[in-house]
Amino acid sequence: MTQRTQRRIGVLALQGDVREHLATLSALGTEAVPVRRPAELGTIDGLVLPGGESTTIAKLARTFELLDPLRDAIRGGLPAFGTCAGMILLADRILDGVSGQETIGGLDLTVRRNAFGRQIDSFEADLSVSGVEGPVHAVFIRAPWVEEVGPGVEVLARAGEHPVAVRQGRLMATSFHPEVGPEAGRGRLHRLFLDLIAAQ
Ligand code: GLN
C-alpha cells in the first residue's frame, strides 16, 4: 500500500461497464483510473472488477498476461470489489461456467453464473444491505447468485434466499450493478468498499 492520503482506485478495463465505475468513484471524490497492465496494479490502493462477461474478461486477462499478476496482487492483499461478472471473477468456485472458465479467485464462495434464469434474467429490486442505510435499488443483469459461502464470508444482502452481496477480508462483491441506476449517483456500495480499504 502507498502512503498517499488520497486513495487511487483502479478499474479493470478489459471489457464491461468500466466507465460507469470510474464515474461513480470520481463522484465520491476518489481518484479512479483504468487498469490494463500488470505494472499498474502496483500503483493503486484498491481494484474494481466491473460487470460485463466473465468469460471474456478472463480470456482477455489471460491474453494480456494479467491473470496471474491479478491473482498475485489479490493474494498479496490488494483490496478488490467485484460486481456481477466481477463477482464471478473473484469467486474461488463457479457453477455453470463455460468449460475451462478461469477465475482470479480470493472469495471463499461458489457462485452460479446466470443463476436467475432466462425468464427474469434481468430485473431490479430494492434490497436491504448491511452497512448501508435505507434500501438499495439493485439492478441485476444476467446476474450470478452465491450458492455456498465459506466460514469467513459475511453476507451483506440476499435476494430471496441467495446471497447477492458479500464481504471477506479485503474483498467485496455484489451480484448486482451499483454503478448503474439510481445507486450510481449515490455510490453507497463504492463508499462501503472505500471504508473497507480505510479500515486496513
Ligand atoms: N452473465 C455474465 C457473466 O457470466 C455477467 C453479467 C453481468 O456482469 N452483467 O459474466
CATH number for position 20: 3.40.50.880
Does residue 54 have its Cβ closer than 6 Å to ligand 1? yes
Distance separating alpha carbons of residues 200 and 190, to the nearest angstrom: 16
Residue 125 maps to a domain = yes
Does residue 87 have its Cβ closer than 6 Å to ligand 1? no
Distance separating alpha carbons of residues 108 and 41, to the nearest angstrom: 22
Could you say which of 20, 21, 179, 190 is catalytic? Answer: 179
Could you say which of 20, 177, 183, 190 is catalytic? Answer: 177
Residue 159 maps to a domain = yes
- Domain residues for 16? 8-199
Cβ neighbours for 159, distance < 8 A, ≥ 6 positions apart: 125, 127, 138, 140, 145, 175
Phi then psi dihedrals of residue 15, to 5 deg: -170, 155
b/e 130-139 (16+ beta carbons within 10 angstroms → b)? ebbeeebbbb
Task: Give which of 82, 14, 12 is closest to 22, Cα–Cα.
Answer: 12
Tens of pLDDT, residue by residue over 25-46, are 999 999 999 999 999 999 999 9
Which of 114, 116, 179 for mutating ligand 1's site (highest number of atoms within 8 Å of CB)?
114
Residue 87: all three cell numbers together:
463477482
Mean pLDDT of 13-34: 97
- At residue 3, the pLDDT reads 45
* The one-letter amino acid at 94: I
- At residue 117, the pLDDT reads 81
Distance separating alpha carbons of residues 196 and 199, to the nearest angstrom: 5
Residue 148 maps to a domain = yes
Residue 3 maps to a domain = no
Q: Is the pLDDT of residue 119 over 70?
A: no
What is the model's pTM?
A: 0.95
Distance separating alpha carbons of residues 2 and 74, to the nearest angstrom: 15
Residue 2 maps to a domain = no
Residue 1 maps to a domain = no
For the chain, the domain total comes to: 1
